[in-house]
Structure 1
Amino acid sequence: MSVPKFHDLSFYSEPSAHRSRYANLVKSFRANFSGDEIEFLARSPGRVNLIGDHIDYNYFPVLPMAIEVDVVAAVSTNDSDAIVISNTDAEKFPKHTIPIGKDSDFAINREQHSWANYFKCGLIVAAKFLEEKSTDIKLKGMNITFSGTVPTGGGLSSSAAFCVASTLAVLYANGVENISKADLTRITVVSEHYLGLNNGGMDQCASVYGEQGKALFIQFKPQLKGTPFEFPVKNLTFVITNSLQVSNKYETAPVHYNLRVVEMAIAGDLLAKKLGLQGMPRDSNLDTFSLRGVMDGYCGNWDGEDLSQGIANISKMIDVVEKTLTEKDGYNVEQCCQGLDLTAEEFHAKYLTKIPVKFEVLKLYQRALHVYRESLRVLKTLQLLSSPVDDDAKFFQTFGSLMNDSQQDLDLLNESSNAKLNELCSIALNNGAFGSRVTGAGWGGSIVHLTSIENLPKLTNSLIELYYKHEFPHITKDEIEEAVIDSKPATGSCLVSAEIVKKL
């Protein structure tokens, strides 16, 4: 299945609502690159994860959907040795020039963080893909103007949307006119690793594979794939609220995101050691045993399709964690070394040098328990969504309970929620939401709320009055409209022909 190309804005649920934004993008491009004509546009959306956070980098399935906020790049090509990137929000994202000559290596300076680094991530993986096709490749010069509506730090995957749109733009500019969704996902999954962020592949896969009106069941083993599915209840909808507490994944990674990656990697190795498992692939981002790998090694390989078997295997691992990871308050380095039969130097070299982390204790029990319990909820949710519905009220209650249990574990086991996010969930649950949970990396960002069409007005009004106007007394109407995000499942990554410019 290839990335689609459109000649109009029909990939949006309400095309007319986006015309003024595209007209502004064209105007900005012409102001930045006088005399140039837009040749094509590359686009990729943000995503909201309905359930299954901090488990993708352990290769357990997740349930996200693409949403209509997105990143769009207007592109022209030339024969220069540079790519110039600009943005419709020039004050926040100033123009950058990236050399692409023979001696250019696109090196990312992690000490000098800028939005251009995210473009370089997309450029690097695109260049590697082009080199796979031909060793004699000379990158085209490009002039690009970006427009983004995915809030940065909002937990809706703005960085993934930007990296995927950038990759798609570079590939198309260099003659790759037909790329499969599988290939685009495969190469962009690792794009943010060049920034030192050891994420899984959910964000990129959801952004690429999204379909209008459908959520996605994304699997990582035995192979990466996204399966769209419709909801069995017609009056179901989601509200996504940006808490306006910004948590930049890159800047907070040493104590938040990357620390969870390291803790889960150590937990995987410690479980494997205690269970006497051997001969398994070291399949995590840190060359350790993933928690999915430990489960397959202990319970037998799960094909990812048999939900009953997956539920049985994960349930067994929850029991194993309770009995095996005995330091419930956290492990210090000495205790980890004893359990893994490593010296302090070996432990440091193996787990603490590849990505920077800061910690007092390593909460291996909590992180492993979260991964298995959250993975179990994903499969139970998929079972629910795949079954006939006799009672809408019971469906909403069951789905909502799974989301609420997820939020509790994100708060207490993964510690990626906080008091303000919990308060936002509580307001929603008291005013028409059946389930509310942090979505994405957490530590700020957005909350996704399950509700019905009938409850939507009360829920939205209550969130505005009791949260936004209370927490941010001077918030404007426009800011509120941006914070309460349209949650309709959206079309994934696509190309848009230059014909759209004539129609604006």
Structure 2
Amino acid sequence: MTNRTPAAQRAIALHRESWGKPAVVSRAPGRVNLIGEHTDYNGGYVLPMAIEFDTVVALSPTRSGRRSTVISEDFGKAALDSKRESIDSTHWASYVFGVSHLLHGHGISTGSWNCSIATDVPIGACLSSSAALEVALAAALLQLAGESWEPAETAQLCQRVENEVVGMPCGIMDPLISACAIAGHASLIDCRLLDVRPRRLPEGTVTAILDTTTRRELVDSAYADRRSACGRAADWLGVAALRDARLDDVERMPDELANERRRARHVVTENERTLEAAQAMCEDDAEALGALMNASHVSLRDDYEVSGPALDAIVEIAQTSPGCIGARMTGGGFAGCAVALVDTEAANAFASAVQESYRVTTGFDARVWLSRPAAGASLLD
């Protein structure tokens, strides 16, 4: 059990206003990925950390037959029927429906329930607000049913929600780090083996999350196109996934597969960078880690082509701001957030410089958060 977070206080208050005292309260964090982008669905390596923003679910059983009711502080109320087999994938409650529906498919019986949701994870910022919701809800429903799952099992179910219910062909990284993060540590994750190894940030550094305040929906053709291109590249290379490819073989792909070659080159080199970054963290080498983050952004911009004007602008500004050791876009791309490794003593000056320069350069206001690595999902008192 863990003490209440700000989002928990709001979720509990919302539940009390609607139905009374909740029986179960659970939290799960968002995440920022330090390096290892678009490698998880290619069976590769990622290096994310949970952040100090939570999504919280307060839940209690009810006797309303098949009907469950959910209230979100951001999106309002929705009713779910336990006999329902599908839902509009664009509806915000599709994440809630998906978790409940797939748990029922595993024989987890929770009956009907009332649920309130509050979050501090910025929605649409590529900080895994959806994974945080799915993981928190799964933890609450499992507790209500008297069941106990390993974090990796919960993460796999939540990935299925994204893939099968919402229609987002994402990998395992987001729900896995939300479910199993260790406080004070980032995690090197082998997305094929689901092996998770904690890594501390270099001494004297802090992570800065840089929100461009631009937004993009990820459930669209651009994301699916990247994944399809990776699959075609793997087929041509004769490997099960691009994790198994060698750079020399990628560079020999024919010009008619130039697009697939660029996508594969990013994945192969990004896996190498991620493993090198984990080693740099073991050696407390902040400069090496920062250089790898910078190189990752170039690869995402030029080979994988998932950056965007706002992301490029804020990364360039960050890299030239006081105390910055390295910076890159983070998440699915095109919009949302970047991440920077910053000297702790210069962190406040860095944040102010980025916000001012970004406003002058783009005309938009950026948000900058400094975050320590947070703990994964937990039940609350």
Q: What TM-score results when the alignment is normalised by the length of structure 2?
A: 0.94
* Structure whose residues are more often strand by fraction: 2
Q: Give the Cα separation in 1 of the matches to 2:207 and 2:30.
A: 15
Q: Which residue of 196, 199, 205 corresponds with 1:226?
A: 196
Identity of aligned residues (%): 29
Corresponding residue for residue 69 of structure 1 = 53
Q: How far does residue 404 in structure 1 lie from its aligned partner after superposition?
A: 0.6
**2:147 counterpart of 1:196:** no
Q: How far does residue 470 in structure 1 lie from its aligned partner after superposition?
A: 5.8
Q: Give the Cα separation in 2 of the matches to 1:484 and 1:290.
A: 36
Corresponding residue for residue 247 of structure 1 = 216
The answer on whether the counterparts of 1:68 and 1:486 sit within 8 Å (CA) in structure 2 is no
Q: Give the Cα separation in 2 of the matches to 1:121 and 1:138.
A: 14
**2:75 counterpart of 1:118:** no
Q: Which residue of 222, 247, 257 corresponds with 2:223?
A: 257
Q: Give the Cα separation in 2 of the matches to 1:98 and 1:192.
A: 18
Q: Which residue of 203, 224, 247 corresponds with 1:318?
A: 247
Q: Which one is further off, 43-52 or 461-470?
A: 461-470
**2:376 counterpart of 1:410:** no
Gaps spanning 5+ residues in structure 2: where?
Answer: none
The SS at the match of 2:51 is strand
> What is the letter of the counterpart of residue 238 of structure 1?
T
Q: CA 1:380–1:157 in 2, change beyond 3 Å: closer, same or farther? A: same
Kindly report which structure 2 residues correspond to 1:393-408, keeping only aligned pairs within 5 A, or say none.
395-408=285-298
Larger Rg: 1
**2:86 counterpart of 1:107:** yes
Residue deviations 1:109-144, cap 9 Å, x none? 23xx11101111211232223x1xxxxx64311111
The answer on whether the counterparts of 1:271 and 1:325 sit within 8 Å (CA) in structure 2 is no
The answer on whether the counterparts of 1:49 and 1:439 sit within 8 Å (CA) in structure 2 is yes
Gaps spanning 5+ residues in structure 1: where?
Answer: 10-17, 132-136, 278-288, 296-316, 331-362, 390-394, 498-504
Corresponding residue for residue 18 of structure 2 = 32
Q: CA 1:138–1:428 in 2, change beyond 3 Å: closer, same or farther? A: closer
Corresponding residue for residue 379 of structure 1 = 275
**2:377 counterpart of 1:486:** no
The answer on whether the counterparts of 2:207 and 2:340 sit within 8 Å (CA) in structure 1 is yes
Q: Which residue of 206, 209, 232 corresponds with 1:237?
A: 206
Q: Give the Cα separation in 1 of the matches to 2:361 and 2:178.
A: 33
Kindly report which structure 2 residues correspond to 1:292-371, keeping only aligned pairs within 5 A, or say none.
292=243, 294-295=244-245, 317-327=246-256, 330=258, 363-371=259-267
**2:233 counterpart of 1:267:** yes
Kindly report which structure 2 residues correspond to 1:177-188, keeping only aligned pairs within 5 A, or say none.
178-188=148-158
Kindly report which structure 2 residues correspond to 1:142-181, keeping only aligned pairs within 5 A, or say none.
142-176=113-147, 178-181=148-151
C-alpha RMSD of matched pairs (Å): 1.9
The count of aligned residue pairs is 378
The answer on whether the counterparts of 2:206 and 2:370 sit within 8 Å (CA) in structure 1 is no
Residue deviations 1:291-321, cap 9 Å, x none? 12x43xxxxxxxxxxxxxxxxxxxxx11111
Corresponding residue for residue 98 of structure 1 = 80
Q: CA 1:138–1:447 in 2, change beyond 3 Å: closer, same or farther? A: closer
Q: What TM-score results when the alignment is normalised by the length of structure 1?
A: 0.72
The answer on whether the counterparts of 1:60 and 1:220 sit within 8 Å (CA) in structure 2 is yes
Q: Give the Cα separation in 1 of the matches to 2:12 and 2:42.
A: 41
Q: How far does residue 50 in structure 1 lie from its aligned partner after superposition?
A: 0.3
Q: CA 1:412–1:488 in 2, change beyond 3 Å: closer, same or farther? A: same
The SS at the match of 1:155 is coil
**2:17 counterpart of 1:51:** no
Q: How far does residue 469 in structure 1 lie from its aligned partner after superposition?
A: 6.5
Q: How far does residue 376 in structure 1 lie from its aligned partner after superposition?
A: 0.7
